[in-house]
Amino acid sequence: MNITVKLFASLREQVGKGEVKLNADKPMTIAQIWAQVSEEMPLPTHILMALNMQYVEPNAIAKAGDEVAFFPPVTGG
Amino acid sequence: MKIEISPQPFNPWSVLQDYEAQRTQAGKCGATACFIGTMRDYNAGDSVQKMWLEHYAGMTELYLQQLAREAEQRWELLDSLILHRVGEIHCDQSIVLVAAWAGHRSPALDACRYLIEELKHRAPFWKRETLSTGQQRWVAQNTPK
């Protein structure tokens, strides 16, 4: 099974991808997932991260079947 | 409690009127507080023609439900409502409606303020503006207040 990775708004345009399926042989931290998806781009300072639609920090662990998301500061309202 | 993400324009006053009409706590409500966010035709010194509002389908709804539940635990509320637009938005259209009902003004006002401030800081929505020049840009951050 895979880990589904989603990117939103300006971050999607910077990385050039909106959704990626990563092969998940073993659990990975959110920071490791970012490194794979962005092809080693440094983690932007104000980036927000979610695991299964809940905010997490870069050291959170994702496993097969999980959904991970990266996005810039929010601007709703 | 009502949470809704709307791709269609809405009239916040009609929404409030309809929601009031279907609420069932007659005789209990002493205070209603609401906030309506509207699209301006300017931002950061530039003239803005229209806006695109993106959201993280699933997480946005979940976050807003958690937020409304938190407010209902923190204050003695009778009810709360959050309605937020997505998609293409034009000047003078409503972006967001937040409302809180309570027995007294303090919990209604405090909860309404809390809901809109938390929404603006944490709910996954992003605005992309189209300026009157045709240039498009993502809004980097919300105004502090």
Q: Does the beta-carbon distance from B127 to A55 stay under 8 Å? A: no
Q: How far apart are CA A2 and CA B136, in angstroms?
A: 35
Q: Kind and range of the H or E element at B64?
A: helix B59-74
Asked if residue A73 lies in contact with residue A43, where contact means CB atoms within 8 angstroms, the answer is no
pLDDT by residue (tens digit) across B56-81? 999 999 999 999 999 999 999 999 99
What are chain B's domains?
Answer: 2-138 (3.90.1170.40)
Q: Does the beta-carbon distance from A9 to B126 stay under 8 Å? A: yes
Amino acid at A51: L
In chain A, the percentage of residues whose pLDDT exceeds 70 is 100
Q: Does the beta-carbon distance from B56 to A6 stay under 8 Å? A: yes
Question: Domain residues for A52?
Answer: 2-71
The torsion defined by the Cα of A50, B59, A6 and A44, in degrees rounded to 10, comes to: -40
Q: How far is CA B60 from the centre of its chain?
A: 12
pLDDT on residue B141: 85
Shortest distance between the Cα of B31 and any Cα of chain A, in A, equals 23
DSSP string across chain A: -EEEEEE-HHHHHHHT-SEEEEE-SS-EEHHHHHHHHTTSPPPPTT-EEEETTEE--TT-EE-TT-EEEEEPPP---
pLDDT on residue A60: 98
Kindly state the average pLDDT of the residues A53-69: 98
CA distances from B77 to A56, A57, A71, B23, B73 (A): 29, 32, 32, 13, 8
Q: Does the beta-carbon distance from A50 to B59 stay under 8 Å? A: yes
Asked whether residue A77 is assigned to any structural domain, the reply reads no
Q: Note whether A56 contacts B: Cβ–Cβ < 8 A.
A: no
Query: Regarding beta strands B2-6 and B77-85, do their DSSP bridges make them parallel or antiparallel, or are they unpaired?
Result: parallel
Asked whether residue A44 is assigned to any structural domain, the reply reads yes
Structural domains counted in chain A:
1
ipTM, two decimals: 0.96
**CATH at A36:** 3.10.20.30
pLDDT on residue B142: 82
In chain B, the percentage of residues whose pLDDT exceeds 70 is 100
Q: Which residues of B touch A53 (CB under 8 A)?
A: 56, 58-59, 62-63
Q: Does the beta-carbon distance from A75 to B139 stay under 8 Å? A: yes
Kindly state the average pLDDT of the residues B120-130: 98
